[in-house]
Chains A and B, each alone.
Chain A
Amino acid sequence: MLPHDEEDDEPEPIDLSKLTCLKSFTVCLFSGYIDRTTMDSYRWLSRILRTGNSQLEEVSIKVTSEHGQLPVDIMPWKDVCDVLLSKCFQNMSRLSILIASSEQTEVDAVVEALNAFEWIEKLRLCPDLNVVVKGSRFCCVLILCIHHLHHSSY
């Protein structure tokens, strides 16, 4: 299992509070099914976020199921939002959450649920904090690249 805070003997090595110039933190999370069991990395993220950084201005969280099914379960976000609401992130001015999956219906369901989630609402009530929750269906990046290359061909 992923390490749980209560069960961890060792503290999180990454200490965001010691990164004195840090303005932007971007993290990619996994949320999906492995052997029919829901697996996600929200707890892993919470562990890092708990180290806090009051200078941070922007936090971006990208959630992907990679090529599998995306669980429509927003409860794990409670812990993440709870940490982000703490004083450790008092200077945060932008929180971007991007939900990505190959299935548009899954993306829409998670984005809709998140936008209605009370903990996201709490974050939205913070002054000077812009919270953006968006969805994205996997697009074929390579095709887009090739398309771009074609336009700049010689």
Chain B
Amino acid sequence: MDSGTNARALENSDELEASHFLVKHKALPAELYNEIIGYLWNDSHALKSCALASWDMTRPSQKRLFHSVAICPQPEPLPESIPTKYKDDPRNATIGTFSKFQQLLDGSPHIAQYIISLHLSDLSWSYRLQVHEFEYPGIGFRTHGGRRWLLTDASLQPYLGLLRNLKALTIECEGNPLEGSCSTFRAILQQPSLLYIRILRSSCPIQALNRTIGPNIEHLSLIDWCPEDETSPLSFEPPSSQVYLKTLTIRSPTAFVSLMTSPTFRLQTSRLRRLVIHSQSYSEKHLATWTILETCSSTLEEFEFRPTHREWCFCE
């Protein structure tokens, strides 16, 4: 036997030994796999590799990969004026569209139970890029539109129904996501597991949210909302139980306070631990802020006050 054959035989025996070791020690405790995968929580490439490497690692890897899911619109192609080197930038890749989400859950429905946080975005400016990134001084911001899907695609509702462990939901869209009696989101907003709701850039009336959300909601963030059209009929029985919030983020405390006196207003602030008020500045409106603060004066631990530039102009 020549030296080359010997070396190959040794390599084969090493491989054989390694495979025997793997077979022998296959049944590592699940907690150990979980612990190992836990270190890779923010490394999606490694998690994907682990999910494919071994059946034992598939479940813990998928749990972390799909813990937080975002569904965004299909982006439009970047304009020609942007240098080519940026067009291939992975940041602008087509990611997390609803069709991909459908394919994912159709092929692997068990993944739905791993989704804890869901971000639904339908904004035309999701791909806004800062000018400095492209070294174009003085132009301002570039915006890129996307195909709207969130309020038009009726097939979303059954998929939302699969997310039985969902705890956090962010809806980012123009328009009212709760419009109509058969709103796509009504069922998910009353789901017992859901604790956190964040609605951004939407014209969602707070009254509609008030009568739709389940009593288990603890964290509510409403950066933008609009007054409700009171003529719109209510075709379902709203829940009557109070919603005791632990954290609240709002833009207009004056409007919020005006609703607090209503007997049907369920959003209670008496147990708030964290309050974030956006965009208030001059003392007149501090009265409304104080009205909310007073209700939670014995529980509030964090208070964040964020006025904006435009409001300062009003002070002139």
Contacts and interface: CB of A to CB of B under 8 A. Distances in A.
Interface of A: 1-3, 8, 10, 12-15, 18-30, 32, 34, 39, 41, 44, 47-48, 66, 68, 102, 138-140, 142-143, 146-147, 149-154
A8 B132 CA distance: 43
Given A13-B287, A19-B293, A28 B301 contact: no
A28 B279 CA distance: 10
Contacts of A26: 302-305
B281 interface: yes
Interface residues of B, number: 51
B294 A18 contact: yes
A3 B312 CA distance: 11
Contacts of B306: 27-28
A2 B312 contact: yes
Contacts of B315: 1-3
B5 interface: no
Given A32-B309, A41-B312, A154-B66, A146 B303 contact: no
B72 A149 contact: yes
A44 B306 CA distance: 12
B312 A34 contact: yes
B90 A150 contact: yes
Interface of B: 42, 44-45, 65-66, 68-70, 72, 90-93, 95-96, 100-101, 104, 126-130, 132-133, 281-283, 286-287, 289-290, 293-294, 297-309, 312-313, 315-316
A21 B308 contact: no
B100 A34 contact: no
A144 to B, nearest CB: 9
Given A13-B286, A152-B68, A39 B312 contact: yes
B282 A3 contact: yes
Contacts of A151: 42, 44-45
Given A23-B301, A142-B127, A149 B290 contact: no
B203 to A, nearest CB: 21
A24 B282 CA distance: 22
11 contacts: A15-B290, A19-B293, A24-B301, A25-B304, A27-B305, A28-B306, A44-B307, A47-B283, A149-B95, A152-B44, A153-B95
Contacts of B69: 152, 154
Given A13-B286, A34-B316, A18 B297 contact: yes
Nearest to B94: A153
A124 to B, nearest CB: 24
Contacts of A147: 90-91
B301 A22 contact: yes
A154 B65 contact: yes
A133 to B, nearest CB: 19
Nearest to A2: B315
A28 B313 CA distance: 16
Contacts of A22: 300-303
Contacts of B133: 140, 143
A13 B283 contact: yes
A27 B307 CA distance: 8
A51 to B, nearest CB: 10
A150 B283 contact: no
Contacts of A29: 307
A44 to B, nearest CB: 7
A43 to B, nearest CB: 11
B70 A152 contact: yes
Question: Top 4 closest A-B pairs, CB basis?
Answer: A140-B130, A153-B95, A26-B304, A13-B290
Contacts of B93: 150, 153
Contacts of A41: 281, 307, 312
A108 B302 CA distance: 29
Given A12-B286, A150-B90, A21 B298 contact: yes
